[in-house]
Amino acid sequence: MGAFETEHMMIPQEKNGVVYLQFPHLARFPAVRHGVFTRRGGCSDPPFDSLNVGRGTGDAEDRVRRNRARIAECIGGTEPVYIRQVHGTGVVSLFRKEGVQNPDLKNLTGDALVTDIPGRNLAIQVADCQAVLLYGADRKVVADVHSGWRGSIHNILGETVREMARRFDCAPAHIHAGIGPSLGPCCAEFIHYQREIPSRFWGYKDDRDHFDFWAISRDQLREAGVPAENILNSGLCTRCRTDLFFSYRGEAATGRFAAVIGLR
Ligand SMILES: [Zn+2]
């Protein structure tokens, strides 16, 4: 509990009908641009209504492209980089430093993106999984992490913080983290948890087989050295709030919403 439980503290923003939310601690940094986009303000029809950014969901390609363009307009800078997410622990870094061979932006696979390049926006797409936004304030480095339950049990958050420290020289004590809208303990029921989730996580389970993945992320970030007071949780459950977000568990056929972060 305490400072971590900051429900409904996200700052709502709206531009041209597109509604997105900002974490107050990240919004305080002039160098950072970010937004967790709701499903509102896009052009897709049900069940992808309306700001769907997910390809391979069944939505029309041109709608997804237009939705992504609307998000780019809100965020500013270049069109966000999307990555083919595979529920693994691959961290892809994009370096500002000259002489470093960065991967082809059109063909990225992994579940976390890190960069120190101004104007290079990063996007993660989700519908129940967590998107976690990170900012290393001492080195001006941003990261965007896809942490579903598989990513959580393999600690992709810890991997990403270590990558920021090792390759970008970020001190974890200066990293700020925002845990986006995702499946909350109210709805994260895992009836097959005994074969799906390692026993070291069973302490995060209540007596109805619901897991608190928000608490798991908080603890993984803290173990990686991120101070508790730098970690904010949106406290918004996607399945409870399908008016605002896409939820795979809540809707099955649905879209993906975007969490974007970049540097000015
Ligand atoms: Zn819920």
pLDDT tens, N- to C-terminus, the chain (264 residues) = 333 344 568 999 999 999 999 999 999 999 999 999 999 999 999 999 999 999 999 999 999 999 999 999 999 988 999 999 999 999 999 999 988 889 999 999 999 999 999 999 999 999 999 999 999 999 999 999 999 999 999 999 999 999 999 999 999 999 999 999 999 999 999 999 999 999 999 999 999 999 999 999 999 999 999 999 999 999 999 999 999 999 999 998 999 999 999 999
Q: Give distance in angstroms: CA of 183 to centre of ligand 1.
A: 6
Q: Measure 150 CA to ligand 1 centroid, in angstroms.
A: 19
- Ligand 1 centroid distance, CA of 121 (Å): 29
Q: DSSP state, 97?
A: S
Give residue 78's pLDDT. 87
In a 10 Å sphere around its CB, with 0-12 CB exposed, 13-18 middle and 19+ buried, how is residue 176 labelled? buried
Q: What is the structure's pLDDT at 98?
A: 87
Q: How many Å lie between the centroid of ligand 1 and the Cα of residue 175?
A: 28
Expressed in angstroms and rounded, the spacing between residue 23 Cα and the centre of ligand 1 is 20
Residue 65's region, left for phi above 0, alpha for psi from -120 to 50, else beta, is alpha
Instruction: From 108, 99, 180, 95, select the one nearest 141 (Cα to Cα).
Output: 95
| Three-class SS state of 175 | strand
What pLDDT sits at residue 7? 52
Please, which residues have CB within 8 angstroms of residue 11's CB and are 6 or more apart in sequence?
Answer: 21, 22, 23, 24, 27
**Å from CA of 119 to ligand 1 middle:** 35
List the structure tokens of 44: 């897709």
How far is the centre of ligand 1, averaged over its atoms, from the C-alpha of 208 (Å)? 14
CA distances from 178 to 106, 160, 175, 223 (A): 26, 14, 10, 16
Structural contact between residues 78 and 121, judged by C-beta atoms closer than 8 angstroms: yes
CA of 238 to the centre of ligand 1 (A): 7
Q: How far is the CA of 250 from the centre of ligand 1 (A)?
A: 9
What is the predicted pLDDT for the residue at 77? Answer: 83
Distance CA 220, CA 224 (A): 6
Domain boundaries, the chain: 2-263
**Which pLDDT belongs to residue 3?**
35
Give the pTM.
0.96
Contacts with 176 (C-beta within 8 Å, 6 or more apart), sequence order: 25, 26, 29, 134, 135, 137, 226, 230, 231
Domain 2-263 fold: CNF1/YfiH-like putative cysteine hydrolases (3.60.140)
CA of 241 to the centre of ligand 1 (A): 8
CA of 213 to the centre of ligand 1 (A): 12
Instruction: Give the pLDDT score at 188.
Output: 97
- Give me the pLDDT at residue 87, please: 95
